[in-house]
Amino acid sequence: MVVGRALGILVLLAGILFAAGLCRASPLGDNPTTSIFQPHSTPAESIYHLSIFVLVITAVIFLVVFGLLIYAVVKFRSRATGTDREPAQVYGSTQIELAWTIIPILIVVVLFLATARVIHAIQDAHKPATALEVTAIGHQFWWEFRYPTLGIVTANELHIPVSDPARPTPTFLKLLSADTDHSFWVPQLAGKTDLIPNRVNETWMDPHETGIYLGQCAQYCGTQHAKMLLRVSVDTPEEFDAWVRTQKQPANQGEKEIAGRRVFETTACINCHAVGGTVATGRFGPDLTHLMSRSTIASGAAENTPENLRLWVQKPDAIKPGSLMPAMKLSDDDLDALTRYLETLR
């Protein structure tokens, strides 16, 4: 039976190793991963190196103690052939106690120093003059991104430039909350930092590779915490500049879709949403000025297609039950017109 247990545990260990392998392997297809073990930015990388160090130390401790436990269980099991005599009664040993006090203390000192160094390196990093500043504001179930130096407001999909280690252009994010606690977490770029009302937090990242990075809200913030997804697009400097130029333009005035625009501007939409250069100046929901430049809607809950847009406006609960956008109960014709208007907001 003891052998059975040892075997079982071996199988388990193999399982753990296999799982660890899984974490490193890319997921199927070209889906971007959210594994913390595939970092692509300095803070995430320093964390990764620290975590490997901690993992190695803990693995060694595990093997030693686990070995002792298995040895004890196998070696000292009472054998049926044994006599009824009780084993020698040992009450303790000061030397041994001292040994297993001092060794752990030394390990703790090493771990602490290594950890403190990384804390300092990440938290007290110097902000270069070339850094991009973004303010991220958490809302119940979506993200607002403001670029104060560029005069851009957008939602849910963050665009930042790739950072060349030779000429770093890191992004420094100021984190605020409009309502409850949230947490900004894009595992490949940095550890998470909370967005807390009445408090200003900060985090930074300097992605080394272009591409899409995924993440999501990591602090329970209410009904739709699960669908508060994050998408970070790391652009080449040229792509980023082009993106900035489109975002700075005022909204398409929608002359062609004047019917839809009228629906939009005469219903409550404008109380909650802003469309640059129009009467719509609401701030409760995402800025829609360049809605169509985003690939998803409702914080990543659905792809940004005309069908989804229409469904969203008609019945937000069908896509994201419990979201704070109300169903507006529009007629089918109004819905069609409105969707066509929304599609012009490029």
Write the DSSP string, 313-333.
HH-HHHHSTT-SSPP----HH
Min CB(233)–other proteins separation in Å: 17
Residue 131: name the closest of 150, 111, 157 by CA. Answer: 150
Question: Is residue 323 part of the contact set for ligand HEC (CB under 6 A)?
Answer: yes
Interaction with Cu ion in 186-225: which residues (CB under 5 A)?
A: 217, 221
The span of 40-48, 236-244, 252-260, 285-293 binding other proteins (CB under 8 A) equals 40-48
Q: Which of 6, 10, 17, 54 binds other proteins (CB under 8 A)?
A: 54
Distance CA 318, CA 312 (A): 7
Give the residues across from 204 on adjacent strands: 172
Q: Where does residue 140 fall: left (phi above 0), alpha (psi -120 to 50 degrees), or beta otherwise?
A: beta
Give the residues across from 160 on adjacent strands: 234
Question: Is residue 119 part of the contact set for other proteins (CB under 8 A)?
Answer: yes
Interaction with other proteins in 283-322: which residues (CB under 8 A)?
A: 300, 321-322
Distance CA 140, CA 239 (A): 30
Question: Is residue 93 part of the contact set for other proteins (CB under 8 A)?
Answer: yes
Q: Kindly state the number of chain residues that form the binding site for ligand HEC, as judged by CB under 6 A.
A: 32
Interaction with Cu ion in 232-291: which residues (CB under 5 A)?
A: none
Min CB(281)–other proteins separation in Å: 22
**Choice between 68 and 279, CB closer to other proteins:** 68
Question: Is residue 269 part of the contact set for ligand HEC (CB under 6 A)?
Answer: yes
Site map (CB under 8 A) of other proteins, residues 184-223, x = contact: -x-x--xxxxx-xxxx-xx-----------xxxxxxxxxx
Distance CA 217, CA 53 (A): 28
Q: Which of 7, 104, 326, 346 binds ligand HEC (CB under 6 A)?
A: 326
The span of 23-31, 126-134, 159-167, 309-317 binding ligand HEC (CB under 6 A) equals 309-317
Task: Determine how β-strand 171-177 pairs with β-strand 132-139.
Answer: parallel
**CB-based contacts of 143, cutoff 8 Å, min separation 6:** 136, 137, 155, 156, 158, 228, 230, 299
